Amino acid sequence: MSTDCCHPVKRRKTFFALLFPILAALMLGSCGDPEKEARLQWREEEVNAKEQDLIRREQKMKEERAAVDILQSQLNQEKAGIDAIRAQVKTELEKTARARRALEIKQLRGPVPTITAERVIVINVDSNDVLWEKNADKKGPIASTQKLLTALVIAEAGDLESKVTVELSDTQCAPVRIGLKPGEQYTRKQLLTALMVKSSNDIAQTLARDNAGTVEAFMKKMNTRALALGLQNSFFVNPHGLPDKVEQFSTARDLSVIALAADKRPEIREMVCLKSFKFEKADGKPEVLDNTNRVLKSNPYCDGMKTGFTSAAGYCLVASGQKNGKRRMVIVLNGTSNGVWKDADALLVWAMKA
């Protein structure tokens, strides 16, 4: 339904459009009659007065509406100011709460243990926050801990129950080797579990070649995955971490990103927590593989992940653990033969306090 008739201007125009013809007719009919002319004059003046009154009312309404608009604008500005102050107060309260919590956590944990390793980082897995670090961005070799990236690429490819046939080239690498022989067949899951527990280099080569066709092709996949994880300070040239013709390197921080990604894979979590693994050889004879991670045995809430050693990388360890709903990750690189275990264990204990 149209609302034009409700508008003051249109209503006035309609009123006068109807009134003027009536007045004109009356004027024509009253010629020569002074009394009628007087009445018409009075009516005309009354109409004019009403018109002026309508005009004044409309003007007053416009002025009142303008005043209301100004007040509304002022209210909006005041509200925006109040909202800004409220946001600032909220931000300050959050900063204060974080600072208070950080102080409480620092008091609960106490001082950081004395650490002998050269490159270290401690991560809160639940929040990805760095709890402590030492030379975390210094580049260098990371030895067999890079097998976590090898495992991540293999696990993400899936189909772990399929069998792999060992080829001669798979066996041609430096120790540590489990002693695979050409023609033997194992499931990918068998091999990957043995790799995570015992760190056998011939297994790393077998899985890499099986996954990509050649070890060289696998290295392209491995470095592509590293870039996808956002790693800018890592480069790998083999799947096992042994020294090669071309230098390979990473950092404690980059390795923590790899470890966190691997930690999200249930199949890898199930493997790295094993203190030992019964590896059934192709001839049917079982071989018990003890996990190279000593902290699994010394720390009751340690549940992984990977060891490593080369002369250049020193003794390395990625140690994960969980206690009372808190999950932590410790990366230790360029440690000593005894210090690597002490460092990782002490940092896990420290990090679990809060």
Length of the chain: 354
Q: What is the pLDDT of residues 214-246, one digit of tens each?
A: 999 999 999 999 999 999 999 999 999 999 999
Q: What is the pLDDT of residues 113-124, one digit of tens each?
A: 999 999 999 999
Distance of alpha carbon 138 from alpha carbon 125, whole angstroms? 22
Residue 39 vs residue 101, higher pLDDT: 39
| H/E segment holding residue 163 | strand 163-165
Lowest mean pLDDT of 13-22, 148-157, 249-258, 339-348, name the range: 13-22
pLDDT of 9 higher than 70:
no
pLDDT of 141 higher than 90:
yes
Distance of alpha carbon 276 from alpha carbon 289, whole angstroms? 5
Q: Which CATH superfamily is domain 110-352 in?
A: DD-peptidase/beta-lactamase superfamily (3.40.710.10)
Spatial contact of 161 and 139, defined as CB atoms under 8 Å apart: no
* Burial call 257-267: b when 16+ CB within 10 Å, e when fewer: bbbbbbbebeb
Amino acid occupying residue 223: N
pLDDT (mean) for 298-306: 96
pLDDT of 150 higher than 50:
yes
pLDDT of 73 higher than 50:
yes
pLDDT of 172 higher than 60:
yes
- The whole-number pLDDT of residue 184 equals 97
118: number of Cβ within 10 Å: 17
Q: Which residues pair with 305 in a beta bridge?
A: 319
- HEC secondary structure over 245-304: CCCCEECHHHHHHHHHHHHCCHHHHHHHCCCEEEEECCCCCEEEEECCCCHHHHCCCEEE
Distance of alpha carbon 295 from alpha carbon 207, whole angstroms? 27
Query: Among all residues, which ones are annotated catalytic?
Result: 144, 147, 199
Q: Where residue 42 falls among pLDDT bands split at 50, 70, 90? A: confident
Q: Where residue 13 falls among pLDDT bands split at 50, 70, 90? A: low
Please list the helix, strand and coil fractions of the chain in percent, rounded to the nearest 5, in that order.
55, 15, 30
- The whole-number pLDDT of residue 107 equals 74
Q: Where residue 95 falls among pLDDT bands split at 50, 70, 90? A: confident
- Alpha-carbon dihedral angle through residues 348, 109, 102, 97, given to the nearest 10 degrees: 110
pLDDT of 161 higher than 90:
yes
> What is the CA 322 to chain-centroid distance, rounded?
21
Q: What is the pLDDT of residues 187-209, one digit of tens each?
A: 999 999 999 999 999 999 999 99
pLDDT of 6 higher than 60:
no
pLDDT of 29 higher than 70:
no
Predicted structure pTM score: 0.75
Output the CA–CA distances (angstroms, integers) from residue 343 to 118, 328, 339, in the order listed.
11, 14, 6
- The whole-number pLDDT of residue 11 equals 55
pLDDT of 25 higher than 90:
no
Domain ranges of the chain: 1-109, 110-352
Lowest mean pLDDT of 91-100, 203-212, 258-267, 298-307, name the range: 91-100
